[in-house]
Structures are given as structure tokens and as C-alpha cells.
């Protein structure tokens, strides 16, 4: 196995919007930053969203420049497709052991031309499209991925050699091995984000087996201009849906799913998606089944009122179960909260679960302090220093500390960067100001 050593001021774990912002804020102050991202591209969940509440800005348009800025910043190095195995303290430095997984494509040679992808005949579900579209066995992760470098899924490759034949720069390398790197850093920022609870979390909601019951992140892709179908169609038969149901608190505030907290963004993203669906499917009926609407941020209440004015139906009800009829139309059984618990059944063409947010990572896996009881990174002084963790010199940003929206993740990333900068000044000899690093992708 190949071994490398990197010396840097700050190690940022996670290349979502929070990690990118923390890295940029540190790098702009002259610190050298290494971003480690486990996926083949930076961008996190944000780069997969369609538009954002409450402004309805195109997500790609506001996230891609951030990704490019980090990629081209002279003080930022990025390692994608890389996992952190262990973090330990040695004197005033942190030592992190990283493993870069093989892409089987030479990153220095690949130009992202996609000729390999066009030549490949093996089709597989596309993870970036929520498994709704297909990708090839060799593929660039998505159109605005950073870096624009192909990746070979060797497990599903039939080794036909077509990609190798068409690659104009000889970048395909079937023999590539994992690469170990040891990083010495003065501080660590954890920005590992969240996952949505799995669609099969509840047997009453079809356990992920009903094809027209989707998770909200899948609907973000259906609504994206460059999404899997290019328009909103239901997966089972490609029908344009006329009636769409949103099931709020799917997994959040639900002790049976192990998630007792409110996930904070589901009300707003459901309202956003409902508005976008009204725009793209003007004849469709959209119903949101909710317990409470939590529209607490700036401009959120007006956004909610606008949705009502657009004709979106809000029904204060708890969804007890979802089944399907013979045409695979979801049948939603509800208990109407406002009308003495009256039970009703309604048929829709498609149902969307507003899935709760759960932690993306357990810090104990790499030797850092145990998380809080909800599984997110523990903050030692949540009221006055919300970015500090039990590990001195390790700071947290974004959804790694708990569910939050993009503006709050960005604000917290700025705060984490300031705490990390102050820590570096106080505890280590900062060498970053006069040096630059190379981007390792
Ligand atoms: C359906 C849906 C719609 C949404 N719509 C909106 C919206 O319209 N407006 C809004 O403001 N917010 C919205 N949000 C919330 C938004 O997605 C989050 O606020 C934002 O993505 C948080 O960014 P983050 O960087 O903290 O986390 P993430 O985006 O989750 O990024 C974390 C990154 O860390 C990486 N990572 C994780 N573990 C490791 C590890 N061990 N090593 C290396 N890398 C690791 C992950 O691969 C990922 O790239 C929505 C959320 C959902 C679920």
C-alpha cells in the first residue's frame, strides 16, 4: 500500500456545504486546510437538492461556485473518496490516518471527458439520483461533480475493457490500490452532516417496498432540472402524477423510530417541494398531512402562507399507514387530528415521506469523544460556544451537530472556523501563512 504524509493547519472532515464554508473561511485567513470527503465528489446533500427554501434559488447555481472556489483555493487541498480511520493527539498536533479508496482511474490523467462512460454497457441504479436513474459501471458521479474525474465500480464491472480502449489519456488503472495517508493537523473541524432515516424504517409505511412511496431526497432529484427523468414521473409506470401526498414527521418526533426530536427542515422542504410541484404539474392536487407546521425562520411563515394561497391542501392528521391498490397507487390511512380523531383513507398517485434527519457518522469510530444521546456530535457549551466539542481543538459545524437548514449550517461553519483559527493561534506554531498546498482531489 502506498503511504503519504501531509502537514496542514486544519483538517476538515466532510465536504458538504458546512465543511466547504469552514474550509474557505480558514483558508481566506491564510491557514492551510485539508478537506477529507468520503464520497467521490464534494458538495454533500446540498448539491443534490433542486431549489432551496425560502428563496427558491437553484441549488446547483449557488452550491457549484462554492465547490469550485474550494477546489481552486491555493490554501485548500481536497481528498475525495477518502475515509478517516483514526484521529489521535500527539502533543499540540492531531494525527489522522486516512485511506483513499481506489477509483481505478488515474485522477491526474482523467479529464472528465466521459468517453469511458459512453462506451460502458453495464447499467446500475444511480445513487446520486436516489436510485431512480441509471449510471454506468464507470461514470463521473454527476454533471457538476468536483473533481470531474470518473470512477470505476469494480464490483459491478464485467472487465470487458471497453473503457480502457476509448480512454484518450490512458487513465484507466484496474490495479490501483488503496492509498494510506497520515495527516498532521493543528485543529480538526467535523462537518460530517446527516443522513435521512431509511424509507424502510416503519412497516406501516410499506417498509420501502411500495414503488410510488418516495423519500424526500428522491423527490429533490425528480424536481431537479437535470434529474433522472427530466420531468416529474412516478417510478412504477412513468405516469404523470395527478395527486401527491406528503407525510410529515416520517421518522421525526417518533419514538418508535428512535427519533424523538424535530428534524427542523422537513416542514419547509415539504412546502418547497409542494410549491415546485404546483409549478411543474399545475393540474395536480398536493396534500400535506402534518401534526404541526414549524415555519420558524426568516421569511418561512410567509412562504407557508404563499403555499396555502397556491391551493396546496394542508390536513392536520397523523398518517397511520400506507398501503397500495392494484395499480400501485398509495392508499394513505389518516387520523384527522382536528376532527376528534376521525379515521379516513385517501388514494394518491404518489406519496412522499418527509424523512427525519439522523447523524451521518459516529465519532467513536475514529477515536473521538462519544456523541450526544441523539447521536449527533456533542457540544460542550451549546449556549455560548456551540461549535466546541469534548475533544479540545476539535470543532463541529452544520448538521453534524444536529439538524439545521443551509443558512444555519453556513453560519455555524463560520463560527467553527473562527474558533479553530483562535485555537491555532493560541496552541500551535502556525506555518500556513507563507505556504501553499496542492489539491489532491
Ligand atoms: C429533502 C431535503 C431537502 C432540503 N432542502 C433544503 C432547502 O431547500 N433549504 C435549506 O436551507 N436546507 C434544506 N435541507 C437541509 C440541507 O440539506 C442541510 O442543511 C445541509 O445539507 C447541511 O450541510 P452539511 O454540510 O452540514 O451536511 P451534508 O450536506 O450532509 O454534508 C456532509 C458531508 O460529509 C461527508 N461525510 C460524512 N461522514 C464522513 C466521514 N466519516 N469522512 C468524510 N466525509 C464524511 C458526507 O459524504 C457529506 O458530503 C434539505 C434537507 C433535505 C433532507
pLDDT in tens, 294-323: 999 999 999 999 999 999 999 999 999 999
Strand partners, 77: 34
Average pLDDT, the chain: 95
CA of 397 relative to ligand 1 center, distance in Å:
11
CA of 217 to the centre of ligand 1 (A): 11
User: Tell me, which fold does domain 2-101+178-193+360-434 have in CATH?
Assistant: FAD/NAD(P)-binding domain (3.50.50)
At 98, which helix (H) or strand (E)? Answer: strand 93-100
pLDDT of residue 438: 46
Whole-angstrom distance, CA of residue 41 vs CA of residue 15: 8
Instruction: Choose the residue to mutate in 67, 268, 406 for probing ligand 1, maximizing ligand atoms within 8 Å of C-beta.
Output: 406
- CA of 407, closest atom in ligand 1: 11
- pLDDT above 90 coverage of the chain, percent: 90
Segment 246-277, tens digit of pLDDT: 999 999 998 888 899 999 999 999 999 999 99
What is the distance between the alpha carbons of residues 134 and 234, in angstroms, rounded to a whole number? 16
Angle CA 287–257–204, to nearest 5: 55
Specify the CATH number of the domain 197-357: 3.50.50.60
Ligand 1 center to 437 CA (angstroms): 26
Average pLDDT value for residue range 207-220: 94
Kindly give the distance from the C-alpha atom of residue 209 to the centroid of ligand 1, in angstroms, as a whole number: 25
Average pLDDT (417-436) is 77
CA nearest neighbour of 15 among 63, 53, 62: 63
Range(s) within the chain of domains with CATH label 3.50.50.60: 2-101+178-193+360-434, 197-357
What residues have CB less than 8 Å from 279, skipping those under 6 apart? none
Pairing of the two strands 243-250 and 350-355: parallel
| Residue 225 or 233, more confident | 233
Residue 413, pLDDT above cutoff 70: yes
336-382 pLDDT tens trace: 987 778 999 999 999 999 999 999 899 999 999 999 999 999 999 99
Question: How high is the pLDDT of residue 429?
Answer: 64
SS3 state of residue 203: helix
Cα(282)–Cα(277) distance, integer angstroms: 8
pLDDT at position 434: 45
60-64, 206-210, 214-218: range with lowest mean pLDDT: 206-210
Whole-number Å distance between alpha carbons of 33 and 93: 14
Is residue 424 predicted with pLDDT exceeding 50? yes
Kindly tell me if the per-residue pLDDT of 89 is higher than 50. yes
Amino acid at each position: 500500500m502506498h503511504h503519504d504524509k501531509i502537514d496542514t493547519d486544519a483538517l476538515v472532515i466532510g465536504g458538504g456545504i458546512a465543511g466547504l464554508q469552514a474550509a474557505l473561511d480558514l483558508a481566506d485567513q491564510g491557514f492551510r486546510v485539508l478537506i477529507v470527503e468520503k464520497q467521490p465528489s464534494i458538495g454533500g446533500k446540498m448539491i443534490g437538492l433542486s431549489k432551496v427554501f425560502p428563496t427558491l434559488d437553484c441549488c446547483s447555481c449557488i452550491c457549484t461556485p462554492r465547490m469550485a472556489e474550494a477546489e481552486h483555493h491555493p490554501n485548500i487541498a481536497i481528498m475525495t473518496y477518502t475515509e478517516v480511520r483514526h484521529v489521535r493527539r500527539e502533543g499540540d498536533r492531531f494525527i489522522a490516518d486516512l485511506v483513499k479508496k481506489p477509483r481505478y482511474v488515474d485522477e491526474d490523467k482523467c479529464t472528465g471527458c466521459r468517453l469511458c462512460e459512453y462506451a460502458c454497457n453495464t447499467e446500475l441504479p444511480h445513487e446520486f439520483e436516489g436510485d431512480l436513474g441509471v449510471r454506468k459501471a464507470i461514470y463521473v458521479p454527476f454533471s457538476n461533480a468536483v473533481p470531474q474525474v470518473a470512477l470505476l465500480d469494480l464490483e459491478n464491472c464485467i472487465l470487458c475493457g471497453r473503457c480502457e480502449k476509448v480512454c484518450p489519456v490512458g487513465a484507466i488503472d484496474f490495479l490501483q490500490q488503496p492509498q494510506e495517508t497520515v495527516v498532521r493537523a493543528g485543529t480538526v473541524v467535523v462537518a460530517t452532516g446527516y443522513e435521512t432515516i431509511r424509507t424502510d424504517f416503519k412497516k406501516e409505511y410499506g417498509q420501502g417496498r411500495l414503488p410510488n412511496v418516495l423519500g424526500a431526497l428522491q423527490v429533490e432529484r425528480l424536481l431537479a432540472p437535470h434529474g433522472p427523468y427530466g420531468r416529474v414521473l412516478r417510478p412504477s409506470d412513468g405516469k404523470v402524477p395527478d395527486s401527491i401526498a406528503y407525510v410529515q414527521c416520517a421518522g421525526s418526533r417518533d419514538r418508535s423510530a428512535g427519533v424523538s426530536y424535530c428534524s427542523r427542515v422537513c416542514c419547509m422542504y415539504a412546502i418547497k417541494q409542494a410549491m415546485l410541484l404546483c409549478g411543474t404539474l399545475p393540474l395536480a392536487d398536493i396534500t400535506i398531512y402534518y401534526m404541526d407546521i414549524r415555519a420558524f425562520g426568516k421569511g418561512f411563515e410567509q412562504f407557508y402562507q404563499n403555499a396555502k394561497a397556491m391551493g396546496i391542501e394542508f390536513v392536520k392528521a397523523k398518517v397511520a399507514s400506507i398501503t397500495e391498490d392494484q395499480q400501485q397507487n398509495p392508499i394513505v390511512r389518516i387520523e384527522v387530528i382536528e376532527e376528534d380523531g376521525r379515521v379516513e383513507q385517501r388514494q394518491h398517485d404518489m406519496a412522499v415521506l418527509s424523512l427525519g434527519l439522523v447523524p451521518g457518522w459516529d465519532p467513536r469510530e475514529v477515536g473521538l469523544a462519544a456523541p450526544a444521546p441523539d447521536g449527533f456530535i456533542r457540544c460542550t457549551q451549546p449556549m455560548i460556544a456551540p461549535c466546541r466539542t469534548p475533544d479540545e481543538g476539535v470543532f463541529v459545524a452544520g448538521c453534524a451537530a444536529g439538524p439545521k437548514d443551509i443558512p444555519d449550517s453556513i453560519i455555524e461553519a463560520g463560527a467553527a472556523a473562527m474558533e479553530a483559527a483562535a485555537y491555532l493561534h493560541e496552541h500551535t506554531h502556525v506555518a500556513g501563512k507563507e505556504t501553499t498546498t496542492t489539491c489532491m482531489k
